[in-house]
Amino acid sequence: MCCEAPDGLEAVRLAKECKHDVIVLDLLMPNLNGFNAAEQISRSVPGVPIVLHTLYASAELEKEAKKFGVDTVVSKITCRSLKDVIQEVVRGKKDENTSQAA
């Protein structure tokens, strides 16, 4: 299922309501920023990978984002494809779940 939210509060609501393989958030969203939305989502639906897609990507920002439950940060201006990152994160979670079940 794919959903789109106009702001952070709606992103949290949709994350709780729908079963997602991955959640992509922007850092700067109305009503609730990406950090706070990620924190609420990671508490409400643990185990769902969260990707922060932002213009402001840096090592410091990624370190801070992880404190809020973000799995990875992707810059909007680098050549690293958001699609590729989503596939890697989802594949990594599936591999992690498979190894835990074994």
The domain in which residue 65 lies consists of 8-101
Contact at 8 Å (CB) between 89 and 49?
A: yes
In the chain, the number of structural domains is 1
Is position 2 within any domain? Answer: no
Is position 58 within any domain? Answer: yes
Q: What is the pTM of this model?
A: 0.84
Cα–Cα dist 55/78, whole Å: 9
Is position 1 within any domain? Answer: no
Q: What 3-state class would DSSP assign to 34?
A: helix
pLDDT in tens, 17-58: 988 889 999 999 999 999 999 999 999 999 999 999 998 889
Residue 30, both tokens: 């109305």
**CATH code of 96's domain:** 3.40.50.2300
**pLDDT given for residue 78 in this prediction:** 74
Number of H helices, E strands in the chain: 4, 3
Average pLDDT over the chain reads 88
Determine the length of the chain.
Answer: 102
